[in-house]
Amino acid sequence: MRLAVLASGSGTILDAICSAGIPVALVVADRPCGALDVAASHRVESELVERKSYAKDFDRDGYTAELIGVLRGWDIDLVAMAGFGTILGKDLFEAFPERILNTHPALLPSFPGWHAVDDALAYGVKVTGCTVHLATEEVDAGPILAQEAVPVLDDDTVETLHERIKGVERRLYIQTISEILERGSVR
């Protein structure tokens, strides 16, 4: 299976994936970001499919079609989102059915969305965690592939809790991706 990683940020998850020896065929970023530098440092091919607008005029379907074209052009079989900030249109999920992975810093279905760690602390939970799931058109709602709990400490801040979750996330995501690549299928 040929793996592509979609990224938008600093590339810490991408770095963990590459450092673990997982073969990444392509990294795609939606904006200039550190993940492109991480890809270069690991000698992984990358493409910038730049999102041109963050306003209401953003053409989600057009952007999604462009991304599908890039992924198909590289003969990608499996897609792993790694902090990818753009919500994609349904055509991507139809083009790669049950072959798009994502990770989330909470025990889904609790605390979906972009502010999961903040929301968990605000709610006062004693345990949160990390979820690896299949990405679907509905954000953070796809079938769960793996989860691991992380305790919430009394003196936790968003930053300290998120750092502990990230440690689990990197390990759990790598483990899940490795198992999928070994099997040759997601399930």
User: Which residues are part of the catalytic machinery?
Assistant: 104
- Rounded to a whole number of angstroms, the distance between the first and last alpha carbons of the chain is 14
Q: Which tokens is 136 given?
A: 């679907």
At a CB cut-off of 8 Å and minimum separation 6, what does 68 contact? 91, 92, 95
Going by C-alpha positions, the residue among 4, 5, 8, 3 that lies closest to residue 114 is: 8
- What is the edge-to-edge ordering of all strands in the sheet holding 46-48? 46-48, 24-29, 3-7, 78-82, 100-104, 127-134, 144-151
Which residues pair with residue 39 across a beta bridge?
none
DSSP codes, 49-105? ------STT--HHHHHHHHHHHHHHTT--EEEEES--PPPPHHHHHHSTT-EEEEES
